[in-house]
Structure 1
């Protein structure tokens, strides 16, 4: 019963954050010109991640009532297969990435990622819904729910494709719109910017491997039983 409740809270948290982003965050152009320019909220990884998380927890919640909790993929429902694949490739690595990078840069110099003036327009509790809740809720999900991971080659390829696609997107915005999405990119030289982007892409891949490793450690007995069942067949 606790796990379905967690999934419901995940849906509620991220749905409300998206709703608040659309209807209640009104930052004047003189405060943040780039926010109103090319790409709208879809230029921000935080916003994209909100949709990833909402989609994931909605699938996870529906799976309790319409899917399966099978431990081997041949017995898995479509909902479980979607849930597990989305968790492995996007929900966990991108969710942890967003929270880690945001608060890491915030601790170094918040003006690199979230200037002080934004506190007037984005309440603290909403900021935490955008950037903090994803970390504990994804870790709790990792501990409470067994996920069947895809092959590492396929899983990392999908995570890498997403990271590459987003980097291309913000570079295109810089080219077409004439501005960088995040303040930190303005302060870096071209070489530093390229190194930072590469480091972020590598971190995304590392977080995929971390999720896979932790899943295999936490659910080692379940995985072993699944292998034995497969051999018995």
Structure 2
């Protein structure tokens, strides 16, 4: 039994190493989140595109909305994590997340959705590894290609076509900000029918985009 467990562990470690190396060159064939969307909504609308074909507007919008220190941190924004923990403790439930784009990428590519300590621990390990091995551009490309942006809609290219009938590289600043605005809850928010909250967030992202410099 012990030999079997040891072999299984080694196989899993090797598989993870190969998957991480694979991720340097290729987007994931499918993720747990995408599989969940396919099962729930009966569709998987996505179109992986290279980093250079995404356009700068959507990159700036997502960084402005999700992780403004993306280029300067090592995968973890400890101040945001501390703020999130304090706010969640005060409310007695999870009302704010402190995850960086790197952490979200690790979760989206390698793991599953959820808030268990096991998942969070694995997320931290994967985040550390991809920051060292992939680098910022690959992390951002994988994130923008895999992130859920609607019901069964994944990635900026599919989202741009779904909401605006155009490729991601042609999105205006305002359109890119709408895409970024839905990210906290893409199943709930809809740029085609924005709530007052979503309009307010859209305007905030538009202003923040002026401060984002792509590396």
Give the TM-score category using the shorter length: 0.3 to 0.5
Q: Which structure shows the bigger proportion of residues in helix conformation?
A: 1
Q: Tell me the TM-score normalized by structure 2.
A: 0.34
Larger Rg: 1
Q: Tell me the TM-score normalized by structure 1.
A: 0.32
